[in-house]
Structure 1
Amino acid sequence: MRKKLVLYLFLAAVLRYFLIISKFSRIIRNRVEISTPLNSFKRVQEGAYLYKHGINPYSGDLVHEVPTILLGLSWVLNNCECLLPFLFIALDLLTAFFLYEMTKMVLRSQLDQARKAKYAPDTEDIQLKTDDVEPLSHYVMMAYLFNPFSVASCVAQTTTVFSNFFLSLYFFFLAKKQITPCMLFLAIETMRSMYPVVLLAPAVLQFSENSLAKAIKVVNAFLALCGILSFLHYSMIGNWSFFDSTLGFIFHYRDLQPNIGVFWYFFTEMFEHFRTMFLVTFQMNATILYLVPLSIKLRKDPMMLATILLALIAIFRSYPCVGDIAFYLAFLPLWKKCWKFMAQNFIVFCFFLVTVLVMPTLWHLWIYAGSANANFYFGITLGFCTGQIFLVTDLLFAHVKREFCLKNGQKLFIDGKEAKIILE
């Protein structure tokens, strides 16, 4: 199995490298579905140039990367630019590896819980088995390494590669139940892109063990690390301007460049005096609106809660890209035992296939041919978001159905007669 692991990583690295050095890399880098104002490599290059010449990169409204990543990439660009593609490839491979290790730990933990639980006798086919651990871990890794979305994000050298890497470390230490490193990487990613703050909820559930004192300890650790990172960024730049250019830029949504989300069209058409109300509403939808009910429902399964929240972040954030989607899609094999109860697989597949294929066409018709308008492109991105919502809700309901069947069996008795549960 280790040989297969090395082979997958090698093939994924070769695929990414040859695409980066190919003529297609420039086309991929310029796609609005892949590069956004928040993760664009061109903006990082501009920030590196400004910093090199003694100009505060956050004085304008162009650079939106945190100082640690910006200055690190600036050093690479100025001293060994030829190694830059290998840096992004290495981070992508490490992301997949940490997801692989995380999956093994999560599945082994679920097996331990299953041995203690008393399941209905007719549920063997939906119970997790020891033989499932290694194959499902490989499926998770392959789902990330060979997903066209993650490949495109790496080829475009977007900073979403860093986001996925930090989030993979968060999930790795979450599964390993190590509070400090888990909170560290969550704090790093929260300071970069704001929305991962909601992932504090599954961490609290994982580490608190129904103890209020432990829950407060987890929250305090997260806040302390956020404060330390803030002062670290301040010491690098010498002022607090980076706050408005990173978290402030994300929250206030100042750049209306089209993307695969729902923000850009609404705020392009919005009357200015309504902007604040809708801005707060949209940001609440992307962060806290689903947090409490989902946390209550999935309080006994923090990893499923984290998966659902991760997907909702990718769908509803202000500047989404396909790299965000690739990361949460890699978690689907982890929940393979729920697939039997998912009823919308074909619909979701059709949504993804049609919208992804049609997006570039409608963009060309709108921007270059002039024979379409913004409504066409927004319509297809709205369909893409709808497909993702179908996927997330289907997975959540499938998880609930599986838990019910494990406890009550897959058969019901009505008036003393056996009646099978209709799953699909």
Structure 2
Amino acid sequence: MDSNRYKLLLLGGAVRLYFSNTSLASLIGNRVEFATPLNSFKRLQEGVFLLQQGVDPYGGDLVHESPLLLKALSGILLNYAQWLPILYILFDLCTATLLYLLSHTFVKQKLKQQQGECKDYAKDTEELQYSENDQFKIPELVLLAYLFNPLTILSCVGLTSTVLSNLLLALILYTMVKRQLFICVIVLAFETVRSLYPVVLIAPLLLIFARRSVGLSIAILMVFVTSCFAVAGANFLVMNSWNYLDGTLGFIFYFRDLQPNIGLFWYFFTEMFEHFRTMFLITFQLNATVLYLVPLSIKLRKEPLLLATVLIALMAVFRAYPSLGDVGFYLALLPLWRRCWKFMAHGFVVFTFFLITLSMMGALWHLWIYAGSANANFYFGATLAFSTGQIFLITDLLFAHVKRVFCLYNGQRILIDGEEARILLE
């Protein structure tokens, strides 16, 4: 299987390299579905240039990447710009490798857990249980789902910084599964200070490392907060100014740029009266962060990785500046829950939603912006349907998990008055 993994990585890298040398790279770099004010390569270039000229990149409203990343990438952008696509491809391949490794570890842990629980399982549930073959099958499916998903390929080809976000998220999940607390907290703090929304991943982190200890939970939270301050301080040392906070976290929270994207914020705040802005801004940001955190954490307290997957998916739907690269990342995690697929009832509906809406976005954008024969309602209708499809997928996965757990202990055939009953969630 290792040789197959390396072949898939090489093939995935070759596909990205091929498209990086075509006109598709510049096209994707300008598409609002992939490039947002937060992850746009052009804005990153502008930030590096201003930083090198001694000008505060956050003095205007153009640059929103963290100072540490601007500083880290400045040498490559200024001296070896032609090698930058190779660097992004390597980042993407590292992400795929981390996802493969965490999948392998996750399945091994599930098999070990099953050994202690299988005596309580019903007799007809073998197909719902993880098998030895899953140690190879599931990691390979995860690898394929990330390497050859058009959304992740095009995100890499367009040189969006979503590639870096995906790498950091994969590292967070990998260190969670491997029980490497210190690295997990540091990386999560860095990504939180950079893009705000990953702060919700503190919940699965606490469930893994401190499920039954309040004192340890408080200690981890204190380390996390301290790490956030340390990362913020490091950014301050780069800029010698706190302006970057308003240009990064402030820009995300206050949603100052109404450029269209695949999210739900831009259309609503374009149409809304200004004196209602603060109330709805807080409402939308709560919806994107803490609104679902407590109920999901309670329900999925025994499945922290599933909780992390659902939270990452909800981030991709409800965050202020989402991109298709964010969607591609959580789609690659779905094979982890292969044993739940039997109960996922809306697969065809979700696939149809994705296929049609993704096909329509480009056409409706052209009709709106270039042809002038449509308006914002057309484009927002497509993005709203796409978000609806994602919600169908997330809820379908959650319901499938609940049904699988129920059937493991009660059997797949439940008889009431001698007739087979159907399991419905209402």
> TM-score scaled to structure 2, two decimals?
0.98
Task: Output aligned runs, 1:18-417, within 5 Å.
Answer: 18-117=18-117, 118-415=120-417, 417=418
**For residues 123-181 of structure 1, what are the alpha-carbon distances to aligned partners after superposition, in whole Å with 9 as ceiling and x for unaligned?**
01111111111111011011011100000110010010000000000000000011100
Q: Residue 130 of structure 1: SS of its match in structure 2?
A: coil
Does the 8 A contact of 1:189 with 1:196 survive in 2? yes
Q: Residue 35 of structure 1: SS of its match in structure 2?
A: coil
Separation in structure 2 between the aligned mates of residue 373 and residue 201 of structure 1, nearest angstrom = 41
Does the 8 A contact of 1:411 with 1:418 survive in 2? no
Give the % identical residues.
Answer: 54
What residue identity is the alignment partner of 1:299? Answer: R
Q: CA deviation at 1:18?
A: 1.2
Separation in structure 2 between the aligned mates of residue 218 and residue 103 of structure 1, nearest angstrom = 25
Separation in structure 1 between the aligned mates of residue 416 and residue 9 of structure 2, nearest angstrom = 52
Does the 8 A contact of 1:20 with 1:85 survive in 2? yes
What residue identity is the alignment partner of 1:88? Answer: Y
Q: CA deviation at 1:378?
A: 0.3
Q: Residue 129 of structure 1: SS of its match in structure 2?
A: coil
Separation in structure 2 between the aligned mates of residue 79 and residue 213 of structure 1, nearest angstrom = 49
Separation in structure 2 between the aligned mates of residue 171 and residue 297 of structure 1, nearest angstrom = 19
**For residues 212-271 of structure 1, what are the alpha-carbon distances to aligned partners after superposition, in whole Å with 9 as ceiling and x for unaligned?**
111112211211111110110000100101100000000000000000000000000011
Separation in structure 2 between the aligned mates of residue 421 and residue 376 of structure 1, nearest angstrom = 40
Separation in structure 1 between the aligned mates of residue 219 and residue 405 of structure 2, nearest angstrom = 31
Residues 138/423 of structure 1: CA separation in 2 closer, same or farther (3 Å cut): farther
Separation in structure 1 between the aligned mates of residue 52 and residue 362 of structure 2, nearest angstrom = 36
Q: Residue 7 of structure 1: SS of its match in structure 2?
A: helix
Q: CA deviation at 1:396?
A: 0.3
Q: CA deviation at 1:25?
A: 1.1
Does the 8 A contact of 1:342 with 1:395 survive in 2? yes
Q: Which runs of 4+ in 1 moved over 3 A?
A: 420-424
What residue identity is the alignment partner of 1:46? Answer: E
Q: CA deviation at 1:209?
A: 3.0
Q: CA deviation at 1:422?
A: 5.4
Which structure 1 segments of 5+ residues have no match?
none
What residue identity is the alignment partner of 1:94? Answer: C
Moved more, 330-339 or 217-226: 217-226
Does the 8 A contact of 2:368 with 2:376 survive in 1? yes
Q: Residue 65 of structure 1: SS of its match in structure 2?
A: coil
Separation in structure 1 between the aligned mates of residue 214 and residue 424 of structure 2, nearest angstrom = 38
Does the 8 A contact of 1:410 with 1:421 survive in 2? no
Separation in structure 1 between the aligned mates of residue 328 and residue 351 of structure 2, nearest angstrom = 14
Does the 8 A contact of 1:410 with 1:420 survive in 2? no
What residue identity is the alignment partner of 1:139? Answer: L
What residue identity is the alignment partner of 2:44? Answer: V
Does the 8 A contact of 1:66 with 1:242 survive in 2? yes
Does the 8 A contact of 1:191 with 1:226 survive in 2? yes
Q: CA deviation at 1:109?
A: 0.9
Separation in structure 2 between the aligned mates of residue 373 and residue 285 of structure 1, nearest angstrom = 27
Root-mean-square deviation (CA, aligned residues, Å) is 1.1
Separation in structure 1 between the aligned mates of residue 121 and residue 386 of structure 2, nearest angstrom = 38
Q: CA deviation at 1:413?
A: 2.7
Q: CA deviation at 1:106?
A: 1.0
Q: CA deviation at 1:421?
A: 3.8
Separation in structure 2 between the aligned mates of residue 261 and residue 143 of structure 1, nearest angstrom = 23
Moved more, 313-322 or 180-189: 180-189
Which structure 2 segments of 5+ residues have no match?
none
Does the 8 A contact of 2:403 with 2:423 survive in 1? no
Counterpart residue number, 1:419: 420
Q: Residue 414 of structure 2: SS of its match in structure 1?
A: strand
Separation in structure 2 between the aligned mates of residue 97 and residue 418 of structure 1, nearest angstrom = 48
Counterpart residue number, 2:7: 7
Does the 8 A contact of 2:194 with 2:248 survive in 1? yes
Q: Residue 257 of structure 1: SS of its match in structure 2?
A: coil
Q: CA deviation at 1:184?
A: 1.1
Separation in structure 2 between the aligned mates of residue 55 and residue 320 of structure 1, nearest angstrom = 28
Separation in structure 2 between the aligned mates of residue 141 and residue 288 of structure 1, nearest angstrom = 30
Separation in structure 2 between the aligned mates of residue 6 and residue 139 of structure 1, nearest angstrom = 14
Q: CA deviation at 1:418?
A: 5.2
Separation in structure 2 between the aligned mates of residue 93 and residue 389 of structure 1, nearest angstrom = 28
